[in-house]
Amino acid sequence: MTVITIDKDICTGCQECTKVCPVFAIEGNPHEAQKIVEERCVNCGQCVQKCKSYISLIDHGAEIYAQKRAERHLPETVTEPLFAAYNVCHLEEVIEALKSPKFTMIMAAPAVRVALAEDFGMPLGSLTPGKMAAAMRRIGFKRVYDTNWSADLTIMEEGTELVKRVTGGGTLPMFTSCCPAWIKYMEDQHPSLTKHLSTCRSPQQMSGPMFKTYGAKLNKVDPKDIFVVSVMPCTAKQFECSRPEMNASGQRDVDVVITTRELAYLIKYCGIDFNALPDEKFDMPLGDYTGAATIFGVTGGVMEAAIRTGYTLITGKELSDKDVDITPVRSTEGFRTADIRVGDLTLKVGILTYLKNIDPIIEKLEAGTLDLHFIEVMSCPEGCVSGGGQPKLVLDADVPEAYKNRRDATFAHDKNLPKRKSHENPAIKKVYEDFLKEPCGEQSHHLLHTTYKGSGGHH
């Protein structure tokens, strides 16, 4: 599936994109159109963020602009410059589904709510979950849910899996599995090492089958009539939802993925004044979430969320309010490690930011010298807040401030939520009681876990 494209008519060969590509998947001579090597591309979209070659209505005229816009299946309301590197847009499918009798459900990832408002002139990193929920409702979605809910679900599954591996002699270190660009990299480049990946699906791919099974029951709808749209800061998520094994619900689990940018296009296409919207809540129960879920959007966040719950799974005790901020795992440097005391156990963890930094880690893993229990990997420079699908930062000078503000807003959101550990989410407790029974149990394994190329199946 093609996700990222470089338009040879627009590309000037400045090679800004080649500098940011973490897997050296972009080739070409200087001052000539660049080309993406699909076999190496992990769909992270950093080239889309960095690209500087564009056409605009003003500089190139309405005819050429309209032709390019149509080629990209963008709504006619889009008038901003069109850059050479871009991700394939799926808004037409969303608009068709909204017109159809389908029961449409939409969800948004943690990082979307700290960036979406930038496309409506608000300051970088503005936190707007309430306006986002209201906008989705005005667009016409029948249910406005939240990927944060399934981020909490992911922690229950992943935390349980980690404890089982650490205490039961499973494959260690275990790597996180919520970043699809990282998964594709491992499958393409190091298939023999995929046994180290958590078998947990990403929060997006846990949401899909839950919406089409548990959610279908709650809403008294036939799963075949449900159309699930996912809004992501990430272009690789478009590839992930199309993977053939992502059909645990009996249908395609997530029908379409759009980016944060494309949600902004859709809001404008529908003529909605985003800034004037009131704050509204997500639909319950599949929109309830804790602080642990929202920090999934920043590098180190999945690790921190997992430790907050892992502590309870291992010790049977709760982390106190003063200990819930696990600052040793918070940072944006390339690779860092920390030793976290969890009862009698010292949990050795690693956090890797930006796939450019992966080679030394893989070398240690192959040599058997990577003495860690659990490693988080995020392909983008500062995790999902810096994803390829986020609002485009045209001026390089804005990038550090945008990343910092999105990060700060994420941590502020976590601090201000009434519950900050995934296992405290009442909607998560209820889904296990009524439907899943237990983390990593039979039902969970069928709906919420997956296999990888080269891994030889589940662990």
DSSP reduced 3-state for 336: strand
Q: Which pLDDT value is given to residue 152?
A: 96
Q: Which of 366, 402, 395 is nearest to 381 (CA)?
A: 402
How many angstroms separate the CA atoms of 256 and 242, rounded?
9
N-terminal to C-terminal alpha carbon distance within the chain: 28
198 is catalytic: yes
**448 is written with which tokens?**
């919420």
- pLDDT mean over 382-389: 96
Q: Which of 265, 324, 321, 350 is nearest to 92 (CA)?
A: 265
Q: CA 254 → CA 107, 239, 411, 457, distances in Å?
A: 10, 11, 28, 22
**42 is written with which tokens?**
């992990």
Three-class secondary structure assignment of 416-456: HCCCCCHHHCHHHHHHHHHHHCCCCCHHHHHHHECCCCCCC
Residue 453's pLDDT band (cuts 50, 70, 90): confident
431 Cβ neighbours under 8 A, 6+ residues apart: 153, 210, 214, 285
Domain 1-87, CATH: 3.30.70.20
Taking only the tens place, the pLDDT of each residue in 238-253 is 999 999 999 999 999 9
457 has a pLDDT exceeding 50:
no
39 is catalytic: no
Q: What is the residue whose two structure tokens read 């983390």?
A: 439
Set 178, 200, 234, 380: catalytic member: 178
Set 89, 384, 386, 440: catalytic member: 384
245 is catalytic: yes
178 is catalytic: yes
Set 71, 245, 363, 438: catalytic member: 245
How many angstroms separate the CA atoms of 322 and 42, rounded?
39
Domain range summary for the chain, segments of one domain joined by +: 1-87, 144-448
How many angstroms separate the CA atoms of 132 and 113, rounded?
7
Q: Which pLDDT value is given to residue 56?
A: 93
Q: With beta carbons less than 8 A apart as the criterion, state whether 295 and 325 touch.
A: no
DSSP reduced 3-state for 132: helix
In degrees, to the nearest 5, what angle opens at C-alpha 19 toward C-alphas 14 and 21? 115
Asked whether the domain spanning 144-448 has the same topology as the one spanning 1-87, the reply is no
Residue type (1 letter), 301: G
* Cis-peptide, bond into residue 418, ω within 30° of zero: no
Set 118, 158, 262, 304: catalytic member: 158
- pLDDT mean over 324-350: 92
384 is catalytic: yes
Q: Which of 75, 403, 92, 391 is nearest to 233 (CA)?
A: 391
Set 118, 157, 240, 304: catalytic member: 240
331 has a pLDDT exceeding 50:
yes
292 has a pLDDT exceeding 90:
yes
**266 is written with which tokens?**
């859709």
Q: Which pLDDT value is given to residue 41?
A: 97
129 has a pLDDT exceeding 50:
yes
For domain 144-448, the CATH superfamily is Fe-only Hydrogenase (Larger Subunit); Chain L, domain 3 (3.40.950.10)
The mean pLDDT of the chain is 95
Q: Which pLDDT value is given to residue 58?
A: 87
Provide the percentage of residues in the chain whose pLDDT is more than 70: 99
**Alpha-helix runs per DSSP H in 243-371:** 260-269, 291-294, 301-315, 359-367
458 has a pLDDT exceeding 80:
no
Q: Which of 227, 260, 301 is nearest to 393 (CA)?
A: 260
459 has a pLDDT exceeding 70:
no
How many angstroms separate the CA atoms of 117 and 298, rounded?
18
63 is catalytic: no
96 is catalytic: no
204 has a pLDDT exceeding 90:
yes
How many angstroms separate the CA atoms of 107 and 136, rounded?
9
Set 150, 177, 198, 230: catalytic member: 198
DSSP reduced 3-state for 392: coil
Set 237, 348, 392, 421: catalytic member: 237
CA 387 to chain CA centroid, nearest Å: 8
- pLDDT mean over 361-366: 96
CB-side exposure of 165: number of CA atoms within 13 Å?
A: 25
Q: Which pLDDT value is given to residue 172?
A: 96
- What value does the CA radius of gyration of the chain take, rounded to a whole number of Å? 21
What is the pairing mode between strands 26-27 and 35-36? antiparallel
DSSP reduced 3-state for 4: strand
Set 161, 376, 382, 424: catalytic member: 161
Q: Which pLDDT value is given to residue 455?
A: 63
DSSP string, 25-67: -EE--TTS--EE-TTT-----HHHHH---EE-HHHH-HHHHHH
240 is catalytic: yes
